[in-house]
Amino acid sequence: MKSIAARLNNITGQIEGVKKMVDRQTDCLQVLTQLKAIKSAVGSVMDTVIEEQFNTCMKSLKKEDKDLLINIKSYVKTN
């Protein structure tokens, strides 16, 4: 599996590609298709970070920050 950094680099490349598409006034449907792919890729990275690093993050947080992180995890899982 690709590292998180590699996946983020791919997303950065996708965003740059969409910027070029917008500059060239590419068909709206093609732009939206690429944006949906970017959204999905970002969501996948978020899921990975949460699953791989959630417990580590929890150990070093204050109570109110733990509550926030738990809410973020719940939100990401449902959206």
pLDDT tens digits for range 44-60: 998 888 888 777 777 78
**Side chain identity at 67, as an amino acid letter?**
D
How many residues make up the chain in this entry? 79
Domain 4-78 bears CATH identifier 1.20.58.1000: yes
The candidate with the shortest Cα–Cα distance to 76, out of 57, 49, 52, is 49
How far apart CA 35 and CA 26 sit, in angstroms, is 13
What tens digit of pLDDT does each residue of 56-79 get?
Answer: 777 788 888 888 888 888 887 777
| Angle between helical axes of 28-59 and 4-23 (0-180°, round to 10) | 150
Of residues 77 and 18, more confidently modeled: 18
Q: Are 79 and 38 in contact (CB under 8 A)?
A: no
Which of residues 20 and 77 earns the better pLDDT score?
A: 20
Q: What is the pLDDT of residue 62?
A: 84
Amino acid found at 72: I
